């Protein structure tokens, strides 16, 4: 389970197909997605953040998976180690199986290495020792992790945390995997796992050696490429440990032994870490991580997670209280009259038989009526609002007076807030018409025109009453919006919103060394013309420096592992650069490109040319949204 994603996309807003609540847990943001499901941020009733993983539908439909999932979660709940994220709640029988673990505000090892490069030796030794200690507790509960990899190791301020232990076993031997789907990540599998042989705690030790090599070198020990190629090298070839520091060679080498019997136990791994550190006992200082990685932890605290709806008021208005007039939104500099809770309210009882509607808890948190989600007046009941604008109807009990206050029962469909009578308004219009007739007889058509124009403006004011209530401080002068469309009566109406352009996909483009792509080309073919000014995305296989991809007509952003590439993501990302080292790219890595001409592209890296190929090239998929942003002004 990936419960932390890149620094700019840690708390992703919920989308249309995302649930708003799971068994009483109100979801406030999406944290990421993995091979088995999506992960969301929520809170316990006491305000502690939790990460909730919802299993993918294709697994949920398999009865054998549900049975194994329930067994593995029950076993995982027994694991209570200092370097694990404990499982605190779950449901294997509901429409979508899910589990909740403690939220760890730290980047994954994969995200840290991709963002900041390989880690120093002291950090790697403390990292490996912490993971080994976590494996001791996991194996002690009778569980083999089976999917230990950099994205399943989170880096917290006080040490690593291992997540998703044992969950991969639930998918093993189900109808999905029996049809050819492999459980686990090929790049970090053990030889016996790749060959379909017996799995044991030594399998996790082999993966730990690969994780250590990845942290110290920055690349997988058995390379990248197709799954079959990686698995073949794991079973038959030796790892590529070029660049591995000398202090780590014995540790990594013993863990990566082909024969499981030749690998050290997790207790021996901890001893090897202590010997390599030159100390009799490992000490974990507060600054065990490099400063750049440690800085990422502060951006991953749960408090700033986006809340989908404002919290409900602390108490309901008293019955019979006069309606309060709508107020314009307070300027940002002024604090709100009623501060919102720091943590979104959640139900006091979990696993409720009925999932609450999106953004709501149980009855104790029921919203008042007369205010929309933004606090503006509404004629019908709205979701929630920080300040009620009208008195809320209450329900009278059969034997007593009307109930009021925060514990009052609310009707299923409350009556609309009282509206001001319109009888006087209609009388005023009638009188205005009579005046117009008299004026026509006494003063001519010019006066009538002026009065009828006023009458038309009165009707327009009545139709736009709600807009004026929202913008009571706005000027009454006509709009000068350049996007407005003039009407037949001299007024203006806003233009229709611009629709997002339809994306165009180009698959398996082989981009050779010193060639480039232009996002405006219909065919999207690589070119190396020196006269081509549209060098939007290029590949350089340098013999004198590190290989890189770059652009001469825009900005690039390398998305973090787990960050979902989309048009909105590329529009909102601001970690701009003009070049990216290819050693930072792993298979499936995505790059956002925004050109100076207003095109946006999502480039997915698929791999490099095989060593047997005489040509040097990289393979990419490209999705282009043409004219998706404002072109750069000269």
Active site residues: 147
Kindly state the DSSP code that residue 258 receives in the 8-state scheme: S
Q: Provide the 8-state DSSP code for 279.
A: S
- Spatial neighbors of 162 by CB under 8 A, at least 6 apart, are 83, 84, 85, 131, 134, 135, 138, 145, 148, 152, 153
CA distances from 491 to 450, 469, 480, 522 (A): 16, 20, 10, 42
How many whole angstroms separate alpha carbon 289 and alpha carbon 92? 37
Radius of gyration of the chain (CA): 31
Cα separation, 331 vs 530, whole angstroms: 54
Q: Cα separation of 571 and 575, whole Å? A: 11
SS3 at position 604: strand
Nearest to 550 by CA among 572, 521, 582: 582
3-state secondary structure of 3: coil
Residues 585 and 148: their CA atoms lie apart, in Å, by 21
User: Which whole-number Å values give the CA distances from 315 to 264, 391, 417, 497, 572, in the listed order?
Assistant: 61, 12, 18, 39, 37
Q: What are φ and ψ of residue 418, in 5° steps? A: -60, 140
Strands 554-558 and 579-581: unpaired
Q: Could you tell me which of 179, 205, 196, 203 has the C-alpha nearest to residue 231?
A: 196
């Amino acid at each position: 389970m990936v419960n932390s994603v890149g620094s700019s996309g840690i708390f992703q807003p919920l989308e249309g197909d995302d649930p708003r609540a799971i068994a009483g847990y109100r979801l406030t943001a999406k944290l990421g997605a993995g091979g088995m499901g999506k992960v969301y941020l929520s809170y316990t009733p006491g305000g502690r953040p939790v990460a909730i993983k919802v299993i993918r539908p294709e697994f949920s439909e398999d009865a054998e998976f549900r049975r194994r999932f329930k067994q593995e979660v029950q076993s995982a709940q027994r694991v209570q180690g200092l370097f694990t994220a404990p499982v605190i709640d779950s449901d294997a029988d509901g429409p979508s199986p899910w589990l909740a673990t403690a939220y760890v505000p730290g980047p994954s090892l994969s995200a840290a290495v991709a963002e900041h490069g390989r880690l120093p030796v002291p950090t790697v030794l403390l990292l490996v020792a912490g993971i080994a200690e976590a494996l001791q507790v996991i194996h002690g509960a009778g569980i083999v992790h089976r999917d230990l990899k950099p994205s399943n190791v989170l880096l917290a301020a006080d040490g690593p945390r291992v997540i998703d232990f044992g969950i991969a076993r639930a998918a093993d031997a189900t109808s999905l995997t029996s049809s050819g789907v492999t459980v686990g990540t090929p790049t970090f599998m053990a030889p016996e796992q790749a060959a379909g042989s017996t799995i044991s705690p030594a399998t996790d030790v082999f993966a730990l050696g690969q994780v250590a090599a990845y942290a110290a070198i920055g690349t997988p020990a058995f390379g990248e490429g197709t799954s079959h190629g990686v698995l073949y090298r794991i079973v038959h070839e030796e790892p590529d440990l070029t660049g591995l520091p000398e202090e780590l060679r014995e540790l990594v080498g013993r863990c990566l032994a082909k024969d499981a019997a030749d690998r050290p136990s997790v207790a021996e791994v901890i001893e090897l870490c202590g010997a390599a550190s030159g100390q009799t006992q490992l000490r974990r200082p507060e600054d065990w991580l490099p400063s750049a990685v440690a800085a990422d932890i502060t951006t991953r605290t749960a408090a700033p997670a986006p809340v989908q709806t404002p919290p409900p008021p602390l108490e309901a208005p008293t019955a019979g209280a006069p309606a309060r007039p709508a107020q314009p939104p307070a300027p940002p500099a002024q604090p709100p009259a009623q501060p919102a809770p720091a943590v979104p309210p959640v139900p006091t009882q979990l696993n409720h038989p009925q999932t609450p509607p999106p953004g709501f808890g149980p009855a104790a948190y029921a919203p008042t009526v007369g205010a929309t989600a933004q606090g503006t007046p509404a004629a019908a009941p709205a979701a929630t609002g920080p300040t009620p604008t009208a008195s809320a109807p209450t329900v009278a009990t059969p034997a007593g007076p009307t109930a009021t206050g925060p514990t009052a029962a609310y009707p299923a469909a409350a009556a609309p807030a009282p509206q001001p009578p319109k009888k006087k308004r209609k009388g005023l219009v009638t009188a205005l018409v009579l005046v117009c007739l008299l004026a026509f007889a006494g003063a001519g058509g010019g006066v009538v025109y002026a009065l009828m124009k006023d009458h038309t403006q009165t009707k327009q004011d009545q139709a736009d009453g709600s807009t004026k209530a929202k913008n009571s401080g706005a000027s009454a002068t006509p709009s000068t919006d350049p996007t407005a469309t003039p009407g037949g009566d001299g007024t203006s109406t806003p233009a229709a919103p611009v629709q997002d352009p339809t994306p165009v996909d180009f698959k398996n483009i082989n981009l050779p060394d010193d060639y480039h792509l232009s996002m405006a080309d219909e065919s999207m073919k690589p070119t190396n013309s020196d006269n081509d000014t549209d060098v939007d995305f290029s590949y350089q296989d340098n013999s004198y420096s590190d290989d890189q991809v770059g652009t001469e007509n825009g900005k690039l952003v390398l998305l973090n592992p787990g960050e979902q590439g989309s048009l909105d993501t590329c529009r909102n990302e601001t970690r701009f650069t003009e070049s990216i080292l290819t050693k930072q790219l792993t298979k499936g890595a995505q790059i956002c490109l925004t050109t100076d001409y207003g095109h946006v592209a999502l480039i997915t890296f698929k791999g490099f040319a095989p060593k047997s190929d005489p040509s040097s090239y990289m393979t990419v998929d490209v999705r282009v949204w043409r004219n998706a942003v404002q072109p750069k002004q000269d």
